[in-house]
Amino acid sequence: MFGIKLYDTNFRFMHYQKMWMWVSAVVTAVCIAGIAIKGFNFGIDFTGGLTVEVAYQHPVELEPLREKLTKAGFDQAVVQHFGSTHDVLIRTVAQKDVSAKTMTDNMVGVLALPDNSLTIKRTEFVGPQVGDELASNGLLALLAAFIIITVYVSLRYEIRFALGAILGVVHDAVIVSGLFAWFGWLVDLSVLAALLAVIGYSINDTIVVFDRVRENFRTQRGYSPVEVMDSALNQTLSRTTMTSFVTLLVVVVLFMTGGEALHLFSLAMIIGIVAGTYSSIYVASSLSLALGITQDDLVRKDKGKDRAAIDEDLKNDFLQKEAARGVK
């Protein structure tokens, strides 16, 4: 982009491998501690509750509404503008032994202002049992995603590559979850969707890197595993950087202009994209090296050919692929 070829870079990523692996271990441990100690601030999608969206004729301030709702017994209500200062979204937990209709009527009565007429645009009530079911299904979705990724990567790559890729995905999921736990950010269905998207994004980025690593291990003879890994990371740096930048740009715009409905989703995606880009280099790749991956583990065992013939074939294949990419 703009005439700059990141492909020609020569950064020594693995020179700092051990330092960044320790940083990753510490950050992961802190995030796990946050999940264990503080837990998650689940939204009404998982706990059950009432959501009411109203539109006022004139702009309205939120603080007076919060005070009125607190006095009326809705002390846990979350009140926020929804798109404009005319539209207000109120979310509150379900009240024990109070029906959805009664809660809605009571809330609408509190929200009514003498000099500012309102229109009810949407009401949603999620019961506690439905919330528990959504939480269970969400957990099953995460487990299913991890299992499918584990099986796919294990079949596609050598076991040490597979372990690095899987732990990289786990690292990203833990980072996102841990930050939400420590800061008490609301966890709802949009955050769960973002977490699943982060898992897919992370494994996709890792696979792109690993494909080049595997190819270089088979073609670049006489180099140490660290040198081959650095070469592969530099060759994929342009693709990784541009993909992450463009994706992050879109998500940041959503975070800034998408309103409250997309705020948490965008926040989880921003954290996940940064963590996923980092983990492809300093978690997945570093762990594969730490587990002792070598060229001999990836060299094709062709019958009827000696080692020199195999090397020559692989070298020619590599040069043809590079020529097809337009790389001199």
Residues 32 and 53 in one domain: no
CA distances from 26 to 33, 194, 272, 278 (A): 11, 24, 17, 15
pLDDT in tens, 274-301: 999 999 888 988 888 888 877 776 654 4
CB 6 within 8 A of CB 237: yes
DSSP 39: -
What is the rounded CA–CA span in Å between residue 313 and residue 102?
Answer: 76
Q: Which residues of the chain have pLDDT under 50?
A: 1-7, 300-305, 328
Residues with Cβ within 8 Å of residue 231, at least 6 apart in sequence: 216, 220, 223
Domain co-membership, 30 together with 119: no
* Contacts (Cβ under 8 Å, ≥6 apart) of 245: none
**Helix orientation angle between 237-257 and 189-219, rounded to the nearest 10 degrees:** 170
Residue among 247, 248, 266 at smallest CA distance from 256 = 266
Q: Do residue 87 and residue 217 come from a single domain? A: no
What per-residue confidence (pLDDT) applies to 171? 94
CB 190 within 8 A of CB 269: no
Q: How many domains does the chain have?
A: 2
**Of 105, 126, 147, which residue sits at a domain end?**
126
Q: What is the CATH number of the domain that holds 62?
A: 3.30.70.3400
Based on the domain organization, do 35 and 160 belong to the same domain?
yes
Are 98 and 204 within one domain?
Answer: no
State the Cα–Cα distance between residues 81 and 217, nearest whole angstrom: 55
Q: Which long-range contacts (CB under 8 A, 24 or more apart) does 11-14 make?
A: 11/230, 11/233, 11/234, 11/237, 12/230, 13/229, 13/230, 13/233, 13/234, 13/281, 13/282, 13/285, 14/226, 14/229, 14/230, 14/233, 14/285, 14/286, 14/289
Domain C-terminal end among 93, 126, 159: 126
Say whether both 154 and 237 belong to one domain. Answer: yes
Host domain of residue 64 = 49-126
Question: Could you tell me if residue 70 is inside a domain?
Answer: yes
CA atoms within 13 A on the CB side of 115: 2
Question: Containing H/E element for 11?
Answer: none
Residue 5 has a pLDDT of 47
What is the model's pLDDT at position 4? Answer: 43
User: What is the pLDDT at residue 36?
Assistant: 94
Residues 157 and 32 in one domain: yes
- Per-residue tokens: 309: 């013939």
Alpha-carbon span 284 to 21, nearest angstrom: 10
pLDDT of residue 301: 44
Of 223, 321, 205, 237, the closest CA to residue 8 belongs to: 237
H or E stretch including 53? strand 49-56
Same domain, 24 and 77: no
Q: What is the pLDDT of residues 3-61, one digit of tens each?
A: 344 446 778 888 888 888 899 999 999 999 999 999 888 877 787 788 888 888 888 88
CB neighbours of residue 302 within 10 Å: 12
Domain for residue 323, yes or no? no
CA 284/CA 276 separation, integer angstroms: 10
Q: Which helix (H) or strand (E) holds 127?
A: none
Residues 281, 168 within the same domain: yes
Q: In this structure, are 214 and 232 located in the same domain?
A: yes
140 and 118 in one domain?
Answer: no
Quick one: 157 and 229 in the same domain? Answer: yes
Q: What are the strands of the beta sheet with 118-126, ordered from one edge? A: 78-81, 87-93, 49-56, 118-126
Q: Which of 126, 141, 171 corresponds to the end of one domain?
A: 126
